[in-house]
Structure 1
Amino acid sequence: MFKIDKTRTGVNGGWERYESNPVLPMELGETFDAVVMIHDNKYRMYFGWRTVRAIAMSESRDGIHWTRPVVCLAPNPSVEWLQEVNRPIVLYHEGKFHMWFNGQKLGDLIGGTSGKTYLCYAVSEDGIKWNIHPETIMEADRSWEGYTIMCPHVIWDEMSGDYKMWYSAGEFIEPYAIGYATSKDGIHWNKYPGNPIFEADNTQLCERERVGACTVFKQEGWYYMIYIGYEDVHKAKTCMARSKDGITNWQRHPENPILSTGYSGEWDCEAVYKGCMVYDEVNDRWMMYYNAGTRSVEFVGLAIKSGKDLGFEK
């Protein structure tokens, strides 16, 4: 049974927080940027496990109660661009699991002011043991991208027959805008010449400074994007938009931000970041997993919305 926290504010568009958040226990240490898929009638969550500096996986029967995580992709100190790994997206396609993720040099991560973040790729038979592609697959090489490219989100589009990626770029700490690229094999990517395809709307308080770290899914002829809106670099909220082609004419949700920060002193009091949505057909509800926290630590939380309608104007 999903218990809604009716004492909390900061939710719009019909969303409610899970009463026992964070959904991944705090005793695991810091967890962030979770993505969830349904495979073999189970929920699978992949996330950055910052406490052990690795990408981990956990499973659940109901999307609420999770097994203890297992490390499935650890850093490799001997490879400069794999000294830190995080921010995964995982797809199951043509009998294999495919992962795109961030790779970083540890010194650059700690310093936080220089260096580059790369996009990397790995493939797996079981989603636990991964074979990492021997080279990075994308880096910042456009003027708008600055020196950092991060937070990939990839879907396979049956109609077009290619992988589609939305990614963030800009500063090292937090990105400034969202770009788009396509690929036939998941390794060689063509960046959209009109990038960035999504930038901050400074007329909206929740994203007056920048946007970044999105996830995207396709439903009933629309591409829906869940993204981070930044009022400032430390004050982030979860927002939503949609587009017919996933590139142009984005319509922002009329009730943005759909998820805001919690009360002062609580685990999610300063920022709410990347959201990933999964539709629970059995219970006719959306499950959104998001990371939130303070400037010092983040954890993964859960919000729910009953019904399939996402609240956009018809």
Structure 2
Amino acid sequence: MSNSKTSNHQPGLIFMPGSEGWWDSERVSSPQVLFCADGTWRMWYYGRDSSFDREINLPTGRCGLAISADGIDWQRVQGLLTRGAVFEPHPDPNRFDSAHVGVSNVYEQDGLYWMWYFGGDGTVVDRGGFKAKGLNMLPGSAISRDGINWVRLESTYKGAFLDLGKPGEFDALFCAWPQVLPDDNGMWKLYYHTLNPEKGFLVGLAVSSDGFHWQKVGQILEPGESGSFDERGIGTRHVLKIKGEYVMFYEGVNSSGYHSIGLAVSEDGIHWQKVPGEQVGGSVFSHAEKGSGRWDARAVGTPCIVAMDDGSFRMYYIGANEGGYDELSSQHQIGLAVSAGTNFRQWNRWGEQ
């Protein structure tokens, strides 16, 4: 195992890139945190080292695991794959996930860990002169008994569980960052997002009766009004039930490219109402102050909410610093915020005075 680097000087920051030689020595992103049945905290996340394919201008690459006794101080687990990873691109170039992968949801059920992830292949997408490799991302699933050794579940679309939308449909570019929610009525919901060149980042939904065969419902959330924190759209999200109500914490991006986290609620998990927050642009948890030099002054995103026994909540998230001009020039690190008691509309960074 390898100890994570931590900092006492940056509020919220709990997990930094790995040391030289590790698969995640350049960046760590998208924490998926569980307080497990054995009393251990586990965090799956994605990232990359500087040798990973630079043509894929995304924070994804491989996935790893860290464990903790308290959910704050973490130790990396050395996996059996490249440079200590536990999950990585598939060797078959014909599969949807052959170029890069990213974990976006993990839960425990029936003695197994179920991972939902997304990936892209080596196809170069040309969007009006802008070329990007690996952007046609799709969702996949894998299972594990120990959280380290994973077996992919095969599905219809080159191994993926959803296909791209048809030309002109809202999700024709990618269907990525899946989160699956088993519902009380035996149905399953799969939330994902996409980027639409005209409309921005949009959230979609698919439903299933068995967790394997999915039918798209369509777009369920759209960008906010001008001046809002999510005016350019909505990306990563975590949906959970709180006192019988569907609650979605989601990442929004504004016209300047700054990311904050907002809140929406629903009675059925399909029709959503945004809840205005008290932070910048109507968010409930904003990026740190512009120009502050803080590690998360550009973006906070990929929220993962953990309900605590005392009724409070933790939010694990990624932060990005200012100064970058694309995904690979800004640094992603992992942070923690805590709710104001049982009030999940107000959050404070871990260690913030």
Quickly name the TM-score band, shorter chain normalised.
0.7 to 0.9
CA shift at 1:106, angstroms?
Answer: 4.2
Q: Which of 260, 264, 270 pairs up with 2:298?
A: 270
Inter-CA distance 33–115: structure 2 relative to 1 (3 Å threshold): closer
CA shift at 1:115, angstroms?
Answer: 4.8
Residue equivalent to 2:165: 141
Query: How do 1:231-250 and structure 2 match up within 5 A?
Result: 231-232=254-255, 234-250=257-273
Say which SS state the counterpart of residue 206 (structure 1) adopts.
coil
Q: Percent identity?
A: 24
CA contact (8 A) 2:245 2:265 kept: yes
CA contact (8 A) 1:241 1:252 kept: yes
Determine the C-alpha separation between the residues in 2 that align with 1:197 and 1:18.
Answer: 39
Structure 1 residue 74 corresponds to structure 2 residue 94: no
Give the letter for the 2:16 counterpart. P
Inter-CA distance 171–48: structure 2 relative to 1 (3 Å threshold): farther
Q: For residues 39-66 of structure 1, give each alpha carbon's deviation from its aligned partner in whole angstroms, at most 9, with x where no partner exists.
A: 1222211111222731111111111011
Give the letter for the 1:152 counterpart. P
Determine the C-alpha separation between the residues in 1 that align with 2:87 and 2:300.
Answer: 25
Residue equivalent to 2:351: none
Give the letter for the 2:312 counterpart. R
CA shift at 1:204, angstroms?
Answer: 5.1
Determine the C-alpha separation between the residues in 1 that align with 2:73 and 2:312.
Answer: 16
Query: Which ranges of structure 1 fall in alignment gaps of 5 or more residues?
Result: 6-16
Inter-CA distance 86–44: structure 2 relative to 1 (3 Å threshold): same
Please give the TM-score of this superposition, normalised by the length of structure 2. Answer: 0.75
Residue equivalent to 1:285: 312
Determine the C-alpha separation between the residues in 2 that align with 1:25 and 1:211.
Answer: 25
Structure 1 residue 84 corresponds to structure 2 residue 92: no
CA contact (8 A) 2:204 2:220 kept: yes
Say which SS state the counterpart of residue 112 (structure 1) adopts.
strand
Say which SS state the counterpart of residue 175 (structure 2) adopts.
strand
Q: Which of 183, 186, 191 pairs up with 2:208?
A: 183
CA contact (8 A) 2:62 2:89 kept: yes
Q: For residues 233-284 of structure 1, give each alpha carbon's deviation from its aligned partner in whole angstroms, at most 9, with x where no partner exists.
A: 72111111111111114241442312222242332121222211102215x4
Query: Which ranges of structure 2 fall in alignment gaps of 5 or more residues?
Result: 1-6, 19-24, 53-60, 79-84, 347-353
Inter-CA distance 126–108: structure 2 relative to 1 (3 Å threshold): farther
Determine the C-alpha separation between the residues in 2 that align with 1:105 and 1:236.
Answer: 27
Residue equivalent to 1:151: 177
CA shift at 1:184, angstroms?
Answer: 3.0
Residue equivalent to 1:260: 286
Inter-CA distance 30–171: structure 2 relative to 1 (3 Å threshold): farther
Aligned-pair Cα RMSD in Å: 2.7
Q: Which of 173, 180, 190 pairs up with 1:165?
A: 190
Determine the C-alpha separation between the residues in 2 that align with 1:99 and 1:124.
Answer: 8
Say which SS state the counterpart of residue 145 (structure 1) adopts.
coil
CA shift at 1:19, angstroms?
Answer: 5.2
Query: Size of the alignment, in residue pairs?
Result: 292
CA shift at 1:87, angstroms?
Answer: 3.4
User: Which structure shows the bigger proportion of residues in helix conformation?
Assistant: 1
Q: For residues 192-228 of structure 1, give each alpha carbon's deviation from its aligned partner in whole angstroms, at most 9, with x where no partner exists.
A: 1xx2111112155211121111111111111110111
Residue equivalent to 1:57: 65
Give the letter for the 1:170 counterpart. L
CA contact (8 A) 1:175 1:212 kept: no
Q: Which of 25, 37, 40 pairs up with 2:16?
A: 25
Residue equivalent to 2:332: 298
